[in-house]
Amino acid sequence: MNLFTEFQVKDMTLRNRVVLPPMDMYCATENSFPTDAHFVHYVSRALGGTGLIIMEATGVLPRGRISDNCLGLWSDEHIEPLHKIVAACQARGAKVAIQLNHAGRKCSAKAEPYIHAPSPIAFSDEYRTPREISKDEIIEVVDAFRTAAKRAYLAGFDALEIHAAHGYLISEFLSPITNHRTDEYGGSLENRCRLLKEVLAAVRQEWPENKPLLMRVSAEDYLPEGIHPEEMADIINQVKQYIDIVDVSTGGVAMAPIKVFPGYQVRPAELIKAKCGLPVIAVGLIKDPEVAEEIISNGRADLVGLGREQFRNPNWVLNVARDYGVEYPWPDSYKEAFEARK
């Protein structure tokens, strides 16, 4: 199966094409440190055969968290607890990335007295109305991404992902639905891309050139006035000199009807791969080996992300290898179970 072929980008070689995408756990301490639950969760997927693990959205500032119980990387004290998880996953054959994020108007952390966004528009009635972020505050956010990238390197991560999707701060600047600014950060596509460019350039000051930099995008806003895959491809082409892999998702910018089905986000990934010439990760309710294999074998994407399915089945990779007769280096403790045919 092509699903089990190696994939290399820069100095990172993955043992297969299966990714655990960044799925929020909401179980960090109040100071945004990882817990035993994080260790067990991520290390078990490494043991289960996952090629690339992308740790959940991690706030670059306290106000950048999605919730009070999301991970953070705004202080040096966060480095060592994350390093323990990274090293344990790497010891079991997986490569590990971390997703850096600023939640923008979708921050629901009760510890924060106010929240920021490009424009003072609430996500819904259940969310607070954000303050319009000032230019000085934009500079602080960009620097926070830069210093978080440095800490991610010190924590030993193999790759870094910038969260520019799902209606969080960078995504809010990109979409005309949420960005109504009239300064150099709003209006034209070039202006709406300005924060993203500044963040990527700043991160690259600290993140080594030989290590992969990923970017997660929402390729479809599902509203007429929003971003669609062709425009997202144009955005990516404006910043492609900074990134190595595009993690393609959709939605989250505003409340919108979305028809979901297995592989529903593969087509946007395929379009971006073709128009941008970069490797892509395809996601979207993928769970069946045949679907994952078709995506890889037909060149529609380079990697496939299985989130919910790997939550249900941490040994998805091992089980698929066994079921399809793929020769695989089973973990020593598991060999008897996986090599036995009964």
Supply the pLDDT for residue 278: 98
> What pTM does this model have?
0.97
Supply the pLDDT for residue 203: 98
Q: Please state the rounded mean pLDDT for residues 308-326.
A: 95
**Is the confidence at residue 20, as pLDDT, over 70?**
yes
**Is the confidence at residue 337, as pLDDT, over 90?**
no
Amino acid at 295: I
**Is the confidence at residue 341, as pLDDT, over 80?**
no
Question: Average pLDDT of the chain?
Answer: 96
Supply the pLDDT for residue 329: 87
Q: Please state the rounded mean pLDDT for residues 128-143.
A: 98
**Is the confidence at residue 335, as pLDDT, over 90?**
no
Structure tokens at 118: 């490009």
Are 245 and 237 a contacting pair, CB within 8 Å?
Answer: no
Are 308 and 9 a contacting pair, CB within 8 Å?
Answer: no
Supply the pLDDT for residue 22: 97
Q: In the structure, what pLDDT confidence band is assigned to residue 334 with cuts at 50, 70 and 90?
A: confident
Supply the pLDDT for residue 340: 72
Least confident of 149-158, 253-262, 297-306: 253-262
Q: Please state the rounded mean pLDDT for residues 228-233.
A: 98
Supply the pLDDT for residue 101: 98
Q: In the structure, what pLDDT confidence band is assigned to residue 157 with cuts at 50, 70 and 90?
A: very high
* pLDDT tens by residue, 73-88: 999 999 999 999 999 9
Q: In the structure, what pLDDT confidence band is assigned to residue 228 with cuts at 50, 70 and 90?
A: very high
| Better-predicted residue by pLDDT, 338 or 286 | 286
Supply the pLDDT for residue 111: 87
Supply the pLDDT for residue 15: 98
